[in-house]
Amino acid sequence: MKSIKIVTLFVLALCIHLSTFGQTTPTPPTPPETNSNSSYSYRSTGSKSSHSISISNDNDTYKLRARYNKKLTSKIRTFLMKKLTNKNYYKVGTSSHWKIEKNDESVFYCKLAKNSLKIYMDKESFSGSFQKEIIAMGKELRYLISGRNAVEENKRELERAERELKRAQKALKEAQDRLNDH
C-alpha cells in the first residue's frame, strides 16, 4: 500500500511538472530582413554594336556591370575621370581603377577595362549624398553605353508603370467582385 501511494504521488508530480513545463508557447521565428532591391538589366546585339548592362541596388550594396564595344572605352574613361576625378585613381596595364578602402576593406571600386566596367559600393560605408552621386552616375553610364536617351527611357518606364497599374486595378476589381458574390 505504501508503494502505491509513492507511485501515485510520483505520477501526480510528473503530471504537474509536465503540464507546467512540458508545453511552452513556441517563439515565432524572426522574419528575414527584407531588402528593397531594384535591378536593371539590358542586353542588346546589333550589327554594329553589342552591349549589356546590369545594375543591382539594394539596402547594403550598389553594383553595376557592363560590357560594350571597346570604342566606347575612351568616352567612359573621360566621363569617369570627370565624375570621380583623380582621387584614389590608379592604372594597372590598360585598365583604370578607382578604389576607396576603410579598415583594409574595399568599400568602393570602379574598374574600367577595354570593353567592360564594374562598379561596387558598400552603401553602409558612405553618406547618402555620395550614394546618390554614384547611383546617378550609374544611370548616366547606362544611357551612355546603351545609346538611349534619358527622356525616352523615362517615357518607356512611365508607360510600363501605367500598364502595370491598369492590370493591378483590374485584378483588384475582380477580387472585390468575387468577394461580393459570396
Lowest mean pLDDT among 45-49, 78-82, 118-122, 141-145: 45-49
What's the whole-model pTM score? 0.63
For residues 69 and 75, what is the distance between their CA atoms, to the nearest angstrom? 11
Q: In the block, which residue shows the cell 560605408?
A: 125
Residue 32 has pLDDT above 50, yes or no: no
132's enclosing H/E stretch is: helix 128-146
Residue 15 has pLDDT above 60, yes or no: no
Which among 115, 26, 23, 17 has a CA at the least distance from the CA of 65? Answer: 115
Residue 87 has pLDDT above 80, yes or no: no
Over residues 33-46, mean pLDDT: 52
Residue 11 has pLDDT above 60, yes or no: yes
pLDDT above 90 covers a percentage of the chain that reads 46
What is the chain's mean pLDDT, rounded?
A: 81
What is the β-pairing status of strands 105-112 and 50-57?
A: unpaired
